[in-house]
Amino acid sequence: MTVGVLLLAAGEGRRFGRDKRRAQVPSGQTVLATSIAVIRDTGLPLRVCLRPGEAQLAQQSGLQPEEVIACERARCGMGSTLAEGVAQLPAWQGVLVALADMPAIQASTFAEVAAALGEDAIVVPTWRGSSGHPVGFGSRWFGRLAGLRGDMGARTLVREAGAQRTLLAVADPGILSDVDFPSDLAGIGRSGGAQAASSKCPVV
């Protein structure tokens, strides 16, 4: 089955104090470019949700025009962004929902979640018992994802999945590590790996 990655990168990052997508990690790349580079290493197809009018950011981050989804309702919250993104996906049988401010996730984790995904399944990676990202959704769930609104993500769907939900243990603390404040940038290694992880990022 064809599985791709939907990277949510349309948030305003208010807690960071400025556009954290453009902030640099120790490697010299931006947060967004680092997240994209990790996904490129997986070979999985990619779509990135941005706000309207961000063609320059997309180009600077190495995205092709067909990889960009301009989300008109991004200001309404992550749920609305996720819904718009899923509604405009190609004919994929599964999608990995990832967050642009989590550049410490390893490429191997994306591959593991994709390999475990079926069309009826939801796959949630875990590290030491804590759930993180990217979360995989089979195509059965696309309609529900496209119906999300506001700032509510897909946590309710994950809870409702029951036997269709798989908790996949991975050796990657980066699934829990996001960039909320400038001080978090120092924890991103030069290869995109996490030097230190925090458990502050909930499942979408």
Whether the CB-CB separation of 148 and 173 falls below 8 Å is answered with: no
Predicted pLDDT at 32 = 97
Give residue-wise pLDDT tens across range 151-169.
Answer: 777 888 999 899 999 999 9
Whether the CB-CB separation of 112 and 71 falls below 8 Å is answered with: no
Give residue-wise pLDDT tens across range 46-66.
Answer: 999 999 999 999 999 999 999
Give residue-wise pLDDT tens across range 170-184.
Answer: 999 999 999 999 999
More confident of the two residues 11 and 68: 68
Categorize the per-residue pLDDT at 200 as very low, low, confident or very high, splitting at 50, 70 and 90: very low
Question: How far is residue 87's CA from residue 102's CA, in Å, rounded to a whole number?
Answer: 23
For residue 45, give both structure tokens: 């197809």
Report yes or no on whether pTM surpasses 0.85: yes
Q: Which domains does the chain have, with CATH numbers?
A: 3-187 (3.90.550.10)
For residue 57, give both structure tokens: 């950011």
Predicted pLDDT at 152 = 75
Predicted pLDDT at 188 = 82
**Length of the chain counted residue by residue:** 204
Q: For residue 74, how far is the Cα from the chain centroid? A: 15
